[in-house]
Structure 1
Amino acid sequence: MGIRLSHVNVIVHLFLFSALVSKGSSLFESKTAVHIRNDIEGDSAVFLNFHCQSGDDDLGYRGLKFGEEWHWKFRVRLGSTYFWCDYQWYDNLNHRWYEGSHEVYDAKSDFPLVPHYFNLCHTDCVWSARRDGIYLLRHPEGTWERRYTWPGVF
């Protein structure tokens, strides 16, 4: 009885492993895109300055007018792909600067062979900078989730 049970365990584990590997390989063959959008409403003159980078790639300093978007694509390396962005914008209505920094993609694994952000935004991560913080478009739900707030904004 113990031998049969261990054979069933081995078969189940092999099946799960092959399913994860096939899901993981299709994930890593395609490129992941990260989008940054300036959706800071209230004053169409708001200009969002930002600088995105990883340990290997510096994507440079950029700026977006209200309503504009910029994106880049990359191949995920499980456990090591990590991008973050620093933001800065001037609130013409309240006459003050806001700035912040946060990760926009992290390939750490919460479940074997499936990066954390794959569960949040699949291979298309859309970030929206708004007056009260920075939002991520959740897939497959299609809903916006506030993930970060600007320091001093609640």
Structure 2
Amino acid sequence: MGKVVLSHLIIKFIFLFITLNHLQQLVYAADPELMMNMRKGTISNCFMKPVTVYIKSDVNNLRFHCKSKDDDLGEVRRNAGEEYDIHFCLNIWRSTLYFCHFYLGWKQRVMDVFATKNKHDPDYCFSTAYSATVDCYWLIREDGFYVAKFKNPGPNDWLKKFDWE
């Protein structure tokens, strides 16, 4: 009898742990102000590490539309020197994906701005076992898409990752 009770408790605990991240998103979705604060990074209530994707424009009239499986962040416009940040929590399966469709005049490209690979953070993101966050950096230029070589990159700390299509 004790083994049955213990197995039910373990199953309930696993179910609770799996659904907590989804419940958190429902609570945020029910209150638009909470969701906005989470996206701005003023709320960090993640069960897994919080992630920030920094998208910096080095061109004028850059348009892009970013989404995940659960969130449509809408269309964004940025000019040279402006930045757009995406804040989110990794899901417990470490399968979180955000992608964006970028437009610059007649040029465009659809690409992942955050996608875990084999349950690890992408190579253009910075985190350690001891850090509390994951930070990812993109720079959009006239000739393509760049990723940072270091956390908090300077003007010369970028590597070209993709061309425009």
Bin of the TM-score, shorter chain as denominator length: 0.5 to 0.7
1:104 is aligned to 2:113: yes
Secondary structure, counterpart of 1:56 in structure 2: coil
Of 15, 32, 40, which aligns to 2:51?
A: 32
1:121 alignment partner in structure 2 = 125
Whole-angstrom CA distance in 2 between matches of 1:89 and 1:60: 17
2:141 alignment partner in structure 1 = 130
Whole-angstrom CA distance in 2 between matches of 1:32 and 1:76: 7
Secondary structure, counterpart of 1:66 in structure 2: coil
- TM-fit CA distance, 1:28: 6.1
Q: 1:127 to 1:141 in 2, by over 3 A?
A: closer
1:146 alignment partner in structure 2 = 160
Q: Looking at CA atoms only, which structure, 1 or 2, has the larger radius of gyration?
A: 1
The answer on whether the counterparts of 1:28 and 1:75 sit within 8 Å (CA) in structure 2 is yes
Which has a greater percent of strand?
Answer: 1
Whole-angstrom CA distance in 2 between matches of 1:83 and 1:30: 15
Q: 1:37 to 1:141 in 2, by over 3 A?
A: closer
The answer on whether the counterparts of 2:138 and 2:145 sit within 8 Å (CA) in structure 1 is yes
The answer on whether the counterparts of 1:121 and 1:138 sit within 8 Å (CA) in structure 2 is no
Q: 1:28 to 1:108 in 2, by over 3 A?
A: farther
- TM-fit CA distance, 1:79: 3.7
What pairs up with 1:4-153 in 2 under 5 angstroms?
29-40=48-59, 46-77=60-91, 78-90=93-105, 97-109=106-118, 115-117=120-122, 119-122=123-126, 123-139=134-150, 142=153, 143-151=157-165
Which AA in structure 2 matches 1:133?
G
- CA-atom RMSD in angstroms: 2.1
Whole-angstrom CA distance in 2 between matches of 1:140 and 1:125: 8
